[in-house]
Amino acid sequence: MSEFNEDATKKANYKDVEYNMPRDNTGQHARLNDQAAGLSELMKGRLVHSPLERPSKIIDVGCGTGIVTRHLGSIYPSASVYGIDISPVPPTNASDVIPETPPNVEYIVGDIRKLAIEDERLKNRSFDCIFQRLLVCGMTQWQSYLSQMAALLRPGGWLEIHEYAFIWYNAKESDQNLSSGWKWQLAARHGAAQLGLDFDIGVNAEGYMQEAGLVDVKVEKYMVPYGTWLATEKPETRRIGAHNARDMGPVFSETMLPGITRKLDLGETEMGELKDDCRHCLKGEDGKYWWFYVTAGRKE
């Protein structure tokens, strides 16, 4: 099991890996765990949507704080579960939902695309499930990546990814697209395209999986509000809605936006205006929401 090392976290520098969201301090670890808890409530405790039967080997790609990896290890105690991330997983604490790391969980630090080629533990055609969540701001070249993940699956194994698409809607106005004219969104999409990111991965994952040769590809989507306006009708949205209204504007404006647009040669004044626009657009507001997509496909 990997031990957390703060210096190693700071030094982890995969120059060919995109990751444009904050993660390497205690406050961000708490934010990520709160987000995971909110998504768990949103999906009513349903983590894996694929129909797994007695899996023996599972990968959690981009495992972050390890909260989902530990959950996978507890759900499937007879499986070897590998949590993979470019930074070491921080230590658990007593307040975590699963405070102890199950003995069947092992963490690996590195880029999954390189590890899939070089690490003897990650052999082709040997995994029952590859699980991945929220790498929309970190993964490039999705088609080649998902094809590589498909190669790791044994026949009958499942690839499952959980992602947003960066489109916001207004339920109060016939589900109108709110974000098509947002200035910060236009700049972010321009920057993302230059970096090889896909802000519509939630929608596009189905086609990528089919192109990778997976079958029985299915998509489920969850409405995720900004704020708690939907909680009376759907109580499961309360925590993730509050999380979005509180955290997404500051996180996107201060970390994601500057990282994504770094090749656009934006001046300080223009960047400041885009940050202000981002915070304003992503504040909690009645009717505002986006979609969270769960896409899963099976290897024949």
- Amino acid identity of residue 212, one-letter, is A
Task: Determine if the pTM surpasses 0.95.
Answer: no
CA–CA gap between residue 185 and residue 256 (Å, rounded): 11
pLDDT digits (tens, 9 = 90+) for 214-225: 999 999 999 999
DSSP reduced 3-state for 32: helix
The domain segmentation of the chain, as residue ranges, is 6-298
- Which helix (H) or strand (E) is 105 found in, with range? strand 105-109
Place of tokens 């690996």: 108
Q: What is the largest CA-CA distance in the chain?
A: 56
CATH architecture entry for 6-298: 3-Layer(aba) Sandwich (3.40)
pLDDT band at 132 (very low <50, low <70, confident <90, very high): very high
Average pLDDT on 11-23 reads: 50
Give 18's contacts (C-beta < 8 A, 6+ positions apart).
137, 138, 139, 140, 195, 196, 197
Exposed/middle/buried for 150, CB within 10 Å: 0-12, 13-18, 19+?
buried
pLDDT band at 93 (very low <50, low <70, confident <90, very high): confident
Q: Name the least confident of 19-23, 82-86, 219-223, 284-288.
A: 19-23
Summary mean pLDDT of the chain:
93
